[in-house]
């Protein structure tokens, strides 16, 4: 059962316009709800229309008017979806203040291959679809899609006008550590590098760029491709101080409130190009132990 947390951050977002990619469920849904609660107009987007309509309901229950939430349904891997997200946001709300590049996925190799045995084309697809640009296979890939570079390119002229902010959602997986499904880690390390490079370039246009790097967070992200037994094992493993010093998995609101903080110029104006780890302390643990225990 979804439960909304109700902390109002500041009045900064009143009337501001925000895009949150991957807002049909999980971290993106709670981030959209929290922006709505704080007075923003929000474009929510993903492929699952029913889930997006649920997100819209949560936003309305949290205080936004129906017209202040705009839904764009589509695969972010497609150029036309990306263009619709930007075009419809400007048509509906007149401007853009914040882009949250949150959509992403980690899908294990379907034949059970791990590490270097995973075929080259899967690495290429992860990098293309999780990071760089719209897919060359016109969205037919089953692999992660978030196309941060091309969506950001479309958003920049509008963010320059408002002196806005970009928050990328990366991962603690971006840090050097061992993992058996390491193509995802490679793509998130590249997201961190993208954040650094964009931040240095775009601050010259007045746009602030930072990333939030979550640790294990309670969504369907990792478990959606696992059977029930694996889900229970992961849950049991994660909810221990051996893995996460604070003794619990992250909640979506733990991540969402840091995203809002980084998007709020009145709170975080002087933070540029940083990767903020939000993980209950898990990245403080020994890398080898994490590698054996978590993935």
Rule CB under 6 A: which residues touch ligand NDP? 22-28, 46-48, 51, 75-77, 102-105, 145, 169, 171, 214, 216-217, 219-222
In the complex, the smallest distance separating the C-beta of residue 75 from ligand NDP, rounded to whole angstroms, is 4
Distance between CA atoms of 247 and 182, rounded to whole angstroms?
25
Q: Is 2 annotated in the active site? A: no
Measured from the CB atom, the residue of 169 and 258 that comes closer to ligand NDP is 169
- Tokens at 190, concatenated: 């590249």
Exactly one of 13, 184, 221, 295 is catalytic; name it. 184
Phi, psi of 38 (to 5 degrees): -95, 15
Measured from the CB atom, the residue of 182 and 265 that comes closer to ligand NDP is 182
Q: How far is CA 170 from CA 21, 59, 69, 121, 237, in A?
A: 13, 24, 25, 22, 22
Measured from the CB atom, the residue of 222 and 265 that comes closer to ligand NDP is 222
Among 176, 169, 215, 216, residue whose Cα is nearest residue 195: 169
Contact status, residue 191 vs residue 216, Cβ threshold 8 Å: no
Q: How far is CA 220 from CA 53, 105, 227, 247, in A?
A: 18, 10, 12, 19
In the complex, the smallest distance separating the C-beta of residue 139 from ligand NDP, rounded to whole angstroms, is 7
In the complex, the smallest distance separating the C-beta of residue 108 from ligand NDP, rounded to whole angstroms, is 14
In the complex, the smallest distance separating the C-beta of residue 112 from ligand NDP, rounded to whole angstroms, is 21
Measured from the CB atom, the residue of 145 and 265 that comes closer to ligand NDP is 145
CA angle 32, 27, 268 (to 5 degrees): 70
Please give the positions annotated as active site.
184
């Amino acid at each position: 059962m979804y439960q909304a947390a109700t902390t109002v951050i500041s009045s900064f977002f009143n009337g501001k316009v925000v895009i949150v990619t991957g807002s049909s469920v999980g971290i993106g849904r709670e981030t959209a709800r929290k922006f709505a609660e704080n007075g923003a107009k929000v474009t929510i987007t993903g492929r699952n229309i029913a889930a997006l309509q649920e997100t819209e309901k949560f936003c309305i229950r949290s205080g936004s008017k129906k017209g202040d939430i705009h839904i764009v349904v589509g695969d972010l891997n497609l150029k036309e979806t990306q263009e619709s997200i930007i075009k419809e946001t400007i048509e509906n709300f007149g401007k853009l203040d914040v882009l949250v590049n949150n959509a992403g996925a980690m899908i294990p190799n379907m034949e059970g291959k791990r590490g270097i045995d995973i075929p080259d084309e899967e690495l290429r697809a992860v990098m293309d679809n999780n990071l760089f640009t719209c897919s060359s296979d016109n969205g037919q890939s089953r692999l992660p899609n978030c196309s941060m570079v091309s969506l950001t390119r479309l958003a920049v002229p509008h963010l320059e006008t408002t002196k806005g902010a970009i928050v990328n959602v990366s991962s603690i997986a971006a840090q050097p550590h061992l993992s058996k499904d390491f193509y995802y880690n490679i793509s998130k390390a590249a997201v961190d590098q993208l954040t650094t490079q964009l931040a240095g370039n775009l601050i010259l246009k007045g746009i602030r760029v930072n990333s939030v790097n979550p640790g294990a967070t309670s969504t369907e992200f990792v478990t959606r491709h696992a059977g029930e037994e694996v889900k229970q094992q992961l849950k049991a493993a994660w909810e221990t101080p051996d893995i996460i010093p604070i003794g619990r998995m992250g909640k979506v609101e733990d991540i969402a409130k840091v995203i809002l903080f980084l998007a709020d110029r009145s709170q975080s104006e002087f933070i540029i190009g940083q990767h903020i780890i939000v993980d209950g302390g898990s990245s403080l643990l020994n890398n080898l132990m994490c590698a054996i225990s978590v993935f």
